Structure 1
Amino acid sequence: MTSMGNLPPADSFKATWDFLEQGLDQIMNRLEEGLDFTRYTVLYSAVHNYCARGSPTSSHGVPDPLSNPHSRRAAQLIGGDLYTSLSQYLEVHLQKIKTESERYMDEALLQYYTKQWERYTTAARVVNNIFMYINRYWVRRQIDEDRKSDVYDVFTLALVSWKKNMFEYVHHNVIGAVLKLIQRQRSGETIENGLIKSIVDSFVSLGLDSSDSTKSNLDVYREYFETPFVQATEVYYKTESEKFISENSVPDYMKKAEARLLEEETRVSLYLHESTNKTLVPTCERVLVKNNSEVMWEGFKSLLALDKQDDLRRMYSLLARIPDGLDPLRKSFEAHVKKAGLSAIERIAQQEGEVVDPKTYVDALLDTHRKYNDLVQNAFSGEAGFVASLDKACGEFVNRNQICKTSSSKSPELLARFCDSLLKKSAKNPEENELEDVLNSIMTVFKYVEDKDVFQKFYTKSLAKRLVNGTSASDDAEGSMITKLKEACGFEYTSKLQRMLTDMSLSKELNDHFKELVQQSSQTTSSNVDFTILVLGAGSWPLSAPSTDFNIPEDLVKVYDRFQKFYQNKHSGRKLNWLFQLSKAELKTSYLKASKAGYAFQVSAYQMGILLQYNTATSYTYQDLQKSTALTPEALHPALSILVKAKVLLLSDGEKVGDDGSRYSLNFDFKSKKVRINLNMQMRTEQKVEADETHKTIEEDRKYLIQAAIVRIMKTRKVMKHSALIDEVLTQLQSRFKPRIPDIKKCIDILLEKEFIERVEGQKDMYSYVA
């Protein structure tokens, strides 16, 4: 190691600076030749000895300028002349680099600039370490005590000097060269990305915080590079997009715009500062997307009509980038889906006429929803606005289509009938897994149905029939559907449905107990009768009392009386109301010539009452049968019609069912390919009457629901304006059905008459609750 004698005298500034200047020349101009540790140590010691002379020595033998106030003041003063000389040296050095740079242009200038910047900053770090003693004491005190804004640590001084003596003279040419290089890249040429990144990094490094030399900012980068770069980008893409879109289709333009946006986002990650993304991308979005949004909006309908999912996805992703860019698409999409749904139903109405098959109808609704729901999920990323547009459109064509013109409640009625066909035993029943999927799809349509009370009525009636007639395909499927309805509409909506299933379980237990009792009893009820009964709660089941009297056939009287006594003993105080119109039986024949084994007739209770008369005679008049069964013509006529149509009974030539004096004879020549013959069929006229009655009960129920809602609201609010009351009633009942305003007004009038509410004196449109 070189001895301290090789160092310049510590008290001579000229000798010290001459010595340091030689070292600076080597560092700044020939650093690549190498600076050995010995030379580095000697230079550091020269700075240290000059600045620390006269200071007391610490316990380690090193001068300590902080040991007393006098030495602190001395150390503060010593070092300024070296700092000033270094600053002047750097200025002269940079003048030479600047002069040399004038020989270069464009990419050659960039190559020269980055090479000199890298060499200069590398050297500046070495110089900073050599002058560390000045940084630690003289510079720190200048900043802390005198708060001088033009004093920095040595490395920062080097950067400030570069900015002042080099950058400010050449930045115009450098920026211009960078922008030309980027434009060449945008035009498809391959350029050296690293070159631009080096330039950018140098601009970032020059962002110095004048109040704190240890901190930096992006002021230089933003002012000298980012701003002109973004402006040039805007001009470039404005020109390109206007030309391209005038010569190409909308889908082709969108591909171009998408590629350009990706390119600019990639450019930031390649060689720009990450903060530029916040300025560059919105600018590109404005030029490439917003400025051409109207053209894209106009092309949306044709893309929808042609089902161009890739192009729609691209349009969505582009317009989603700009404020309100998707609004026109959502409106157009809603109108398109509504039109598609209405057209699908219109085609069905034209094909099927007045009587529409529930499955065909529901499938048409589902197909439309499925198609456009897939589009929303795939092309529009399931975006909430498009989901809302789809829901609104589906709500329109589900509730207000051509088939609904005859009745606004047609959709929920047909949906309930479709459910019935699915859940009823049939050779066409889907497999269990498939059935669950179909039930889920039914709930999709159910979500859009406004008159959910209509669905509830028809579904409850069809469920009752399935349970009573034992035609449910699966108990699990019935339970699953009720669970889905409960999740959609709440416990109250399905409470009666759930109770119906419970009643069926209780009835099975009751039957088992009764049969055990019969078997244990020594009395014989009837050797020819297998008796099963359902006991159902009147409050839960949509079952009405019979509309006709009925004489129970002698064959059944004993078992009928026996069950009556059994039930009364088990549940005293309860009353059984027998619903013979819903009862059915199976009768075995032993009179036919064509079949020794006989046939089994599946009949209604009323048909059973008619046929059992033929155990005592083979021919009866209409009046005879009416008298023996006690059935009204409205009940007797359809029961006889089916028996005559099936040729179980024969009419004389020219006679019609129900004619006075018409005679019905047992057909001993009856033949059938089937052994079990179902004669218990509902006639189409009966189905229509039943549907009409269901609609009437719905209207009655709605009146009570509206009145209950009004009373409930008024009880809470006490006083309310007419318009506010109507709005609140609509809000509370919309989950069940959409009340008509005139119906609400009628219900208000009824409650005024009943004195549940009254008008506020002196105010026509104000009501108050009567406690």
Structure 2
Amino acid sequence: MANYGALAASDLPTTWAQLETGIDPIMNKLSEGLSYKRWMDLYTLIYNYCTSSRMYGNQNDEPINSHSSTRGANLMGADLYQNLKKYLKEHLDTLKANADAQMDEDLLLFYTKEWKRYTTATAYVNHVFAYLNRHWVKREIDEGHKNIYDVYTLTLVTWRDHFFGGGPGTIQPKIMDAVLKLIEKQRNGETIDSTIVNAIVDSFVSLGLDENDSTKPTLDVYKQYFETPFIAKTEAYYKMESERFISENTIVDYMKKAEMRLAEEDNRVQMYLHSSSQKPLLLSCETVLIKNHTGPIQEEFQNLLDQDKMEDLSRMYGLLSRVPESLEKLRHTFEVHVRKQGLSAVEKVAESAQAGPAEAGEEDEEEEPKPKAPAAGAPRKPGDVDSKTYVDALLSVHAKYSDLVKTAFRGETGFEGSLDRACREFVNRNVVCEKSSSKSPELLAKHCDSLLKKGSKITDEHEVEEVLNSVMTLFKYVEDKDVFQKFYQKQLARRLVNAQSANGDTEESMINKLKDACGFEFTSKLQRMFQDVALSKDLNDQFKEQTSRTQDKVDGPDFQILVGGTGQWPLNAPSTAFNIPDDLLKTYERFQNFYQHKFSGRKLNWLFHLGRAEIKANYVKTAGKTPFTFLTSTYQMGVLLQFNTATSYTFTELATNTSLDTPTLKSALYGLLKSKTVTVDNPSKVWEPENRWELNLAFKSKKTRIKVDVPMRAEQKAESEETHKGIEEDRSMVIQAAIVRIMKTRKMMQNQVLVTETIEQLKTRFKPTVSAIKKCIDMLLEKEYIERMEKDREMFAYVA
């Protein structure tokens, strides 16, 4: 080989001839790389030519003007650049001729093989022309000359424009056609060599060059010549396949097919496409596979709900969530379905209540006799249902569809909203609530009472906690939260008064849950009640200690008293007089004196109707056996103690001795008669004034402790009605207070706006009716808190 380094200041033809002789083996036969000596010879040849000091450009060898813009180095650099450009085109013409003879996969193999060879070879050529790049090319680019690139970029531009291209005579259309056929084979289930496609894609990406800055790559070539036709072909393929498949198969099978195809296309991006194609490709596939078939897919939703097809529902959501606007119809269908399921569940509970007795969950104590089934012709009312059965029915529906939302619908907020709206409907407006919209909170409070009192079937603390958490789930849907508060407060008071709370920590936990849900004001009275219980315990200890020190100590009953503040306990004064039995009178007077001495100025109002007693029945004691203990109300105790004097009394005599009014005495005797503690002479005329009541001296029972405090159903109903009446009175005051607050802030307000604002302020506590608000407005007008405007009777003004 010639010694290139020995040539100096030779002319262009000679220099290029020597360069071409060196470049040819690199471009056509490169297999082991380029040796350092070979590279140095070529590099030196270019260096010597570009830095030649010969400044003569005419035949007479006269010097060229030194100020000419075409000084030797510039002119010779441009010549080398142009000759290399011409050489690359001629080289690619040969490749093009060979490529024209190839088809389909053979063409792709040829293209990828030659692309790899070309880019490897031109990388070496770029190193050979390093001096030209650093000086002449850089100067041209810095001076803003267009279409001048570093040598490696020039090789890519030449491949792109002269060989690859996109117009007539170039290879790109054939290449893309072959690629699309190969990918279609893969979609049809055939195995292909994905590395071929990957190599093609890499070449398309590499050919993207910024015309204004050759150092910055772009995706223009890839987008124009690969991505666009690829996505168009994809759309056409799946449009045909989806229309055929959905017409021949079920919607469920189609969803599986669509899910599989979308996963395949996503995987295809990972295998051999550029990452930028993922979004447009999947968007195109989602349009063809899902959006264009939204209607039939949505119509299948109800069937899947009816059949509880969790997996298929999850698949449907996964598909339609890719087309967000298609989910709204599903949300509406889901809401209607859940509401129907909730209403149906409550209807079954109501029907069961009509057909048979209440469940044991409504019993006050496990010793209490269960009520008999209603007589024929007197079915139970729809609202007369067992609280546990009712709450369990509501919770089962909520739990089922809450799990569906979390699992199948990924906890999507739209479906959570649909679930909440549906639950709010069937919790507050169902067959049990037809006569009273506040029945749900009442039954929910009763269910809490059964869980928290002694004798509950659920004894494990953690299990009780879980059930109470589920109760709070329903509580958030209850609209009349003030009804729940009132009943819960009354039942808590009863548990505390009768020492029936199963666990103080659980009681406190429930109150904290209510406080978190509704605020401190909602539970402030409940917490004060517990404080009173703690203070009463200390008070009882002090009373016992004082009694033990008293000189004239006499034997008396074991005595416990609960002193509560009038403001926080929902307790009413007794409706009847009551003669305190002689056995208790001494203890009663002692406590009165003790309390008055300790708290001068305070007055005790005794609520005998809430008290309970335990009485030993020594008259039926058998040898060696423990005497029976009767668990009674205070009034029943007063009646039973009468039989220490005689074993038989008329109804009139009992009324006179106890001073109880007729309804109260009947209620007390009802439990005694029900438990067979006493008997009557004439059962057909139980409540006749002269009918005699006798102590049952032959009383028998397998239990040693017998509960005789069994309330009459009418009495229970009256208590419930009384509570509801108190709720209505409280609501009236709350509505009036809200109206005054609003008017005090706004000063003047139109009637309809005032009504709307009042509802908005109170909706978290209860939803006031328009008629109730208008009634309260009239009350405030009478009280002169507000006044009507003379010119506009629909406008109100605040009276300061």
With the length of structure 1 as denominator, give the TM-score of the two structures: 0.95
- One-letter amino acid of the counterpart of residue 10, structure 1: A
Provide, for residues 501-557 of structure 1, a one-character-per-residue CA deviation record: whole Å limited to 9, x for no partner: 111111111101111111122221x31411111101111111000101111122222
| Residue pair 1:309, 1:375 contacting (<8 A) in 2 also | yes
CA shift for structure 1 position 461: 0.9
* Equivalent in the alignment of 1:137: 135
CA shift for structure 1 position 427: 6.0
For residue 441 of structure 2, the aligned residue among 385, 396, 412 is 412
* Equivalent in the alignment of 2:710: 681
* Equivalent in the alignment of 1:7: 6
Structure-2 separation of matches of 1:427 and 1:497: 21
Structure-2 separation of matches of 1:633 and 1:706: 38
- One-letter amino acid of the counterpart of residue 516, structure 1: E
Structure-2 separation of matches of 1:650 and 1:121: 113
* Equivalent in the alignment of 2:104: 106
* Equivalent in the alignment of 2:171: 170
SS at match of 2:31: helix
Structure-2 separation of matches of 1:71 and 1:180: 55
SS at match of 1:665: strand
* Equivalent in the alignment of 2:47: 48
| Residue pair 2:339, 2:422 contacting (<8 A) in 1 also | yes
For residue 524 of structure 2, the aligned residue among 476, 495, 505 is 495
Structure-1 separation of matches of 2:594 and 2:729: 38
* Equivalent in the alignment of 1:38: 37
Structure-2 separation of matches of 1:109 and 1:593: 111
Structure-1 separation of matches of 2:41 and 2:25: 14
* C-alpha RMSD of the superposition: 2.1
CA shift for structure 1 position 628: 2.2
Query: Structure 2 vs 1, CA of residues 672 and 603 (structure 1 numbering), >3 Å: closer, same or farther?
Result: same
* Paired residues, number: 757
CA shift for structure 1 position 429: 3.0
| Residue pair 1:590, 1:598 contacting (<8 A) in 2 also | yes
Kindly report which structure 2 residues correspond to 1:63-78, keeping only aligned pairs within 5 A, or say none: 75-78=73-76
For residue 639 of structure 1, the aligned residue among 668, 678, 689 is 668
Moved more, 227-236 or 125-134: 125-134
- The answer as to 2:121 corresponding to 1:123 is yes
Structure-2 separation of matches of 1:634 and 1:193: 93
Provide, for residues 222-261 of structure 1, a one-character-per-residue CA deviation record: whole Å limited to 9, x for no partner: 1111101100000000000000000000010001000100
Kindly report which structure 2 residues correspond to 1:500-515, keeping only aligned pairs within 5 A, or say none: 500-515=529-544
Structure-1 separation of matches of 2:621 and 2:591: 37
Moved more, 309-318 or 608-617: 608-617
CA shift for structure 1 position 669: 3.1
Query: Structure 2 vs 1, CA of residues 84 and 654 (structure 1 numbering), >3 Å: closer, same or farther?
Result: closer
- One-letter amino acid of the counterpart of residue 194, structure 1: T
SS at match of 2:540: helix
SS at match of 2:749: strand
Query: Structure 2 vs 1, CA of residues 138 and 522 (structure 1 numbering), >3 Å: closer, same or farther?
Result: same
- The answer as to 2:570 corresponding to 1:573 is no
CA shift for structure 1 position 484: 1.1
* Equivalent in the alignment of 2:745: 716
- One-letter amino acid of the counterpart of residue 220, structure 1: V
Moved more, 755-764 or 298-307: 755-764
Provide, for residues 147-186 of structure 1, a one-character-per-residue CA deviation record: whole Å limited to 9, x for no partner: 1111111111111111121012111111101001111110
- The answer as to 2:239 corresponding to 1:238 is yes
SS at match of 1:523: coil
* Equivalent in the alignment of 1:584: 612
* Equivalent in the alignment of 2:572: 544
* Equivalent in the alignment of 2:90: 92
Query: Structure 2 vs 1, CA of residues 505 and 93 (structure 1 numbering), >3 Å: closer, same or farther?
Result: same
Provide, for residues 393-432 of structure 1, a one-character-per-residue CA deviation record: whole Å limited to 9, x for no partner: 1111111111111211111111111111111111623311
Kindly report which structure 2 residues correspond to 1:275-674, keeping only aligned pairs within 5 A, or say none: 275-353=276-354, 354=381, 355-426=384-455, 428-524=457-553, 526-592=554-620, 598-653=627-682, 656-674=685-703
| Residue pair 1:599, 1:676 contacting (<8 A) in 2 also | yes
- One-letter amino acid of the counterpart of residue 438, structure 2: S
SS at match of 1:573: coil
Provide, for residues 371-390 of structure 1, a one-character-per-residue CA deviation record: whole Å limited to 9, x for no partner: 11111111111111111111
SS at match of 1:591: helix
What are structure 1's unaligned runs of at least 5 residues? 57-67
Structure-2 separation of matches of 1:55 and 1:495: 105
* Equivalent in the alignment of 1:62: none
What are structure 2's unaligned runs of at least 5 residues? 56-65, 355-380
CA shift for structure 1 position 55: 11
Structure-1 separation of matches of 2:601 and 2:31: 113
Query: Structure 2 vs 1, CA of residues 76 and 568 (structure 1 numbering), >3 Å: closer, same or farther?
Result: farther
Query: Structure 2 vs 1, CA of residues 641 and 97 (structure 1 numbering), >3 Å: closer, same or farther?
Result: closer
- One-letter amino acid of the counterpart of residue 157, structure 1: L
Structure-2 separation of matches of 1:155 and 1:630: 116
* Equivalent in the alignment of 1:202: 203
- One-letter amino acid of the counterpart of residue 575, structure 2: S
CA shift for structure 1 position 4: 7.2
CA shift for structure 1 position 462: 0.9
Between the aligned residues of both structures, percent identity stands at 56
Provide, for residues 475-524 of structure 1, a one-character-per-residue CA deviation record: whole Å limited to 9, x for no partner: 11111111111111111111111111111111111101111111122221
| Residue pair 2:556, 2:584 contacting (<8 A) in 1 also | no
Query: Structure 2 vs 1, CA of residues 655 and 84 (structure 1 numbering), >3 Å: closer, same or farther?
Result: closer
Provide, for residues 688-742 of structure 1, a one-character-per-residue CA deviation record: whole Å limited to 9, x for no partner: 0000111111111111111111111111122222222222111111111111111
- One-letter amino acid of the counterpart of residue 658, structure 1: W
- One-letter amino acid of the counterpart of residue 568, structure 1: Q
Query: Structure 2 vs 1, CA of residues 655 and 522 (structure 1 numbering), >3 Å: closer, same or farther?
Result: farther
SS at match of 1:337: helix
CA shift for structure 1 position 600: 2.3
| Residue pair 1:602, 1:678 contacting (<8 A) in 2 also | yes
Provide, for residues 658-705 of structure 1, a one-character-per-residue CA deviation record: whole Å limited to 9, x for no partner: 323333333333333333222222221110000011111111111111
Query: Structure 2 vs 1, CA of residues 9 and 74 (structure 1 numbering), >3 Å: closer, same or farther?
Result: closer
CA shift for structure 1 position 657: 3.8
* Equivalent in the alignment of 1:61: none
* Equivalent in the alignment of 1:16: 15
